[in-house]
Structure 1
């Protein structure tokens, strides 16, 4: 939870400022969102590297190394801003993506450490970012003009958060070391033994796995596209920098505050229903962006997409974690992460062309339609599973 909070603290700097700084450094405005877009692109490339590292060395050793990329990212980004070098700034944001790819496995480590409370473990990890979500955007803007070159100190904050994470992760429980190779048995329905791997084709025919990846990918696409475009679109719609910072703060609160209750909801209503609720909230976010450029609608869109991300991502991640046995992790986790981070890339790249007053409604409509499609698929899959269970029960009686 602490490690997640430190990761989110650094991320909020990029969420809050990278679009604005990118616009200052980029040779043309069209390239303004490229630095932020490189974060998920680098995460896609790094996902399989982290998966292999975890498989060989275990979670604990991989997590002890990951924050070093945040330190490097902060220092490189700060230097790039100081020297007014767009290409070097892109290198710094790409390093953030490498770090994020590593921290993406925090939730899997938590789920495998507490298999009997998988949903609570995942949501608790995500909730660790709440404090960072509250203070991060304001720290980023408060530090922006404390140095001779604006924004240098803000990116040094990324390096400082990385240093703190390095120190914290160095003392993670030693029990995590074995999770990357031979974790304790996870209770999987209909599994005769937890250490027998099923064929890859059989794994990826599971509705629970496909639905979980779909929900997590939708959450990633919606959050990344609206978060990347939001600050720039907000200023184009006439909102001030302080109002944009408020929107980012509410967005981050929406992303992490539900973590304190979502595990209870998953336990009561099930992972799929919570993921479905997330898709419905994302529809609200997209609709708010599509119908009005006003400040209230802008705040609703940014906040709702954060809340929807938490619900859909938590529910989807719990569904994914429930779909595989320990011996199958290497054939599920990296692929699920690849699909999710690819959705982030698509969201970030689409935002580059839509980060204007005229493009914001189109982005909102696209997000709403994508969420409706995923929600509909989840609902149909759930109905089929319930019918199958009813048929099996009838046959057994």
Structure 2
């Protein structure tokens, strides 16, 4: 027997494709630009500091077991809050959760710069993980609110290309900067990057975001996409 494909399905697909905007139009929206800055900033900083932390710990005379356990706490802090981060975004909004994550990243650098004891390394790594969780998930919720369902593939492809290219570069630079200037300089880099992310958020608040057809808010659209993926 032969499979009959409904003409209704073809019509819906063609309509969705015709509603899709050019990629250049989507990625120049204020909301997408701000979200891209923040996804790249939060993820790249996490990779940047995390890569250098074990080197610094061992270089300061701590054991490899101490460094391994510190990274374990860091990974737990990265993914543990994910059970409720979506609910927090739904309640308080993606921008507020993102801003909280950026503040936690500042806290990470501040603690790391305060000394070289074991508890300072571990506390900084935990704050780094929490900052990544709130910052990155909050920013990706903003990305999800910047495109229509028919535009998802090309926008996510562009976003992920820029994101993971930047993360790879940050990991490479982490070792180079640590080797040249040490752990202190590695953490000072956090502040200007976070400042740029806050500038992007502030600019978004001033100029406003372009509303997608249907008028969905960032938080609602992000939660709908989260639920549909489960």
Which of the five TM-score ranges fits, normalised by the shorter chain? 0.7 to 0.9
Q: CA separation in 1, counterparts of 2:116 and 2:177?
A: 14
User: Could you report, residue by residue, the CA deviation over 1:153-188 in whole angstroms, capped at 9, with x for unpaired residues?
Assistant: xxxxxxxxxxxxxxxxxxxxxxxxxxxxx9x99xxx
**Counterpart-to-counterpart distance in 2, 1:334 and 1:279:** 25
Distance 1:233 1:308, change over 3 A: same
- Give 2:39's match in structure 1, choosing from 216, 232, 235: 216
| 1:318 paired residue number | 141
Query: What's the TM-score once normalised by structure 1's chain length?
Result: 0.47
Find the counterpart in structure 1 of residue 222 from structure 2: none
- Match in the other structure for 1:73: none
1:194 Cα deviation after fit: 5.3
The number of aligned residues is: 199
Residues 376-395 of structure 1 correspond to what in structure 2 (within 5 A)?
A: 376-385=199-208
Decide whether the 8 Å contact of 1:284 with 1:368 is kept in 2.
no
Task: Render the CA deviation track for 1:64-109: whole Å, top value 9, x for unaligned.
Answer: xxxxxxxxxxxxxxxxxxxxxxxxxxxxxxxxxxxxxxxxxxxxxx
The answer as to 2:181 corresponding to 1:353 is no
- Identify unmatched segments of 5+ residues in structure 1: 1-181, 186-192, 390-397
Displaced runs of 4 or more, over 3 A: 354-358
RMSD over aligned Cα atoms: 2.4
C-alpha deviation, 1:356, in angstroms: 5.6
Q: Which consecutive unaligned segments of at least 5 residues does structure 2 have?
A: 1-9, 212-230
Are the counterparts in 1 of residues 178 and 185 from structure 2 also a CA contact under 8 Å?
Answer: no
* 2:114 pairs with 1:291: yes
When normalised by structure 2's length, the TM-score is 0.78
Structure 1 residue corresponding to 2:189, chosen from 351, 362, 366: 366
Alignment partner, residue 126 of structure 1: none
Distance 1:372 1:305 in 2: 16
Corresponding residue for residue 331 of structure 1:
154
1:341 aligns with 2:164: yes
1:232 maps to 55
1:254 to 69, 74, 77: 77
Highest RCO, 1 vs 2 (Cα 8 Å, sep ≥ 6): 2
